[in-house]
Structure 1
């Protein structure tokens, strides 16, 4: 488990935890008993987990555990101790925090195209958030993310040409990290940081065996990222 935090306005802090392979499988369709045990070891209390659909729907969580199982790819809350979660195996977990608010976004290439990051910023702004800070968790690096040219053009059309990269073998690849950063910047993010090695500007790569990866190893298991508000 990796732990980080983000400022969330006066009197609040957003606590963030990212699981690793050794913390277990957090796929929502995994063994219920093992899943419950893994969740309780990572963060206490009821979780808000989502049926992720690679869209732009954002739900508001008014109490711990609310909106559980909603078909959405992002959740936001002003409720202290309400645990938000997303499950990933290459897609990017993105935490947004500010002014007594926290949001958590599941971002894949379709979510980039659909505008899930901008939609989450809009929802946070609508709840009174102005100075929004972002934290990008472990996700796949372009070296292992070969991508079709048509899909790459589509992502570049909404996130800019910085998303174009190449794999280790020289094939076209998507830089998902660059896409997330670009859309956060377009949304007016106040600060952008990553969950990565010390002094690194890029997040951990899920192609590493420390994490589950569908693209690299065809794994069906998922890691999770959770975030919740705490009072300072």
Structure 2
């Protein structure tokens, strides 16, 4: 049954066409019930292709103009030009895309990591980044902003979509130490949890990194872990001992 897609938008991105898609309205079933857009999942590929086609339609572009990359938790950015084919891009190992080309929807897949959509409407430059803790710490947001500025962006606004919130993100001491070694001030993104272990504020960290780059940034406030009806979550699936998990998609287009 083709139920309606649920697309979250944010006023900070203004009139730029964008959407943080929830899991509602897709063709997948079972563990992946709804809008699973992850080709790397064990879901039926026909269902994933139908889901991605629905996203492209909602974004107002042909299915072949929904651009994604092979995400690897890196700080690498792909600059998309008209010559790029979706197949070539899909094989490109990177974690963000930027473009100044109209008619292409840039998209990233997440299941607790931060989906970050960025735009400078005046300059006609957009970006989409997949920023988990590792990518964010290693500089994926910095690299995305740099790549957008190389295309002429000046006044960039960014919105972090549904991601795991601090209350659901318990980590180990060694995890926290990686951040403190990088910058002792990063201690402000950790607090003690109910089990006496650190709780990490991933969206808070992402917002701080973006704002330090001179980008106006907001978080949508949605926690992927805490809302199974609307969002896929890698951590929740792990806690439930499920064999796989769906991937959410977030997209932006000029």
Secondary structure, aligned partner of 1:188: coil
Match of 1:21 among 20, 23, 30: 23
Alignment partners' CA distance in 1, 2:192 and 2:38? 29
CA distance in 2, matches of 1:37, 1:49: 15
Aligned residues: 218
SS at match of 2:170: coil
2:107 counterpart of 1:70: no
CA distance 1:226–1:81, shift in 2 (3 Å)? same
Query: Partners in 1 of 2:39 and 2:11 — Cα distance?
Result: 26
Task: Report the Cα distance in structure 2 between the residues aligned to 1:171 and 1:121, rounded to whole angstroms.
Answer: 33
Q: As a proportion of its length, which structure holds more helix? A: 2
Q: How far did residue 170 of structure 1 move? A: 4.5
Unaligned ranges ≥5, structure 1: 196-202
Computing the radius of gyration from Cα coordinates, the structure with the larger value is 2
Distance 1:137 1:17 in 2: 9
Task: Return the alpha-carbon distance in structure 2 between the equivalents of residues 19 and 127 of structure 1.
Answer: 27
Matches of 2:80 and 2:20, distance apart in 1: 20
| CA distances 1:23-52 after superposition (whole Å, capped 9, x unpaired) | 321111342211121112122322111111
Change (3 A) 1:166 1:48: farther
Separation in structure 2 between the aligned mates of residue 151 and residue 135 of structure 1, nearest angstrom: 25
Confirm whether residue 122 of structure 1 aligns to residue 141 of structure 2: no
Q: CA RMSD in A?
A: 2.1
| 3-state SS, counterpart of residue 118 of structure 1 | helix
User: Aligned residue for 2:105?
Assistant: 83
Q: Write out the 4+ residue segments of structure 1 that deviate beyond 3 Å after TM superposition.
A: 5-8, 166-170
> Does residue 206 in structure 1 map to residue 224 in structure 2?
yes
Aligned to 1:149: 173
Structure 1 match to 2:219? 194
Which shifted more, 208-217 or 162-171?
A: 162-171
Unpaired segments ≥5 residues, structure 2? 1-5, 26-34, 239-243
Partner SS for 1:81: coil
Give how far 1:13 is off. Answer: 4.2
Q: 1:62 to 1:72 in 2, by over 3 A?
A: same
Post-superposition shift, 1:6? Answer: 6.5
- How far 1:130 moved relative to its partner? 0.7
1:75 and 1:179 mapped to 2: Cα distance?
21
TM superposition score normalised by structure 2: 0.79
Q: Please, which of 76, 81, 85 is the counterpart of residue 57 of structure 1?
A: 76
Shift of 1:192: 1.6
Distance in 1 separating the partners of 2:107 and 2:193: 30
Aligned-partner Cα distance in 1 for 2:192–2:114:
18
Q: Deviations for 1:165-190, whole angstroms, at most 9, x for unmatched residues? A: 3445452111101110110011111x
Secondary structure, in 3 states, of the residue corresponding to 2:98? strand
SS at 1:56 equivalent: coil
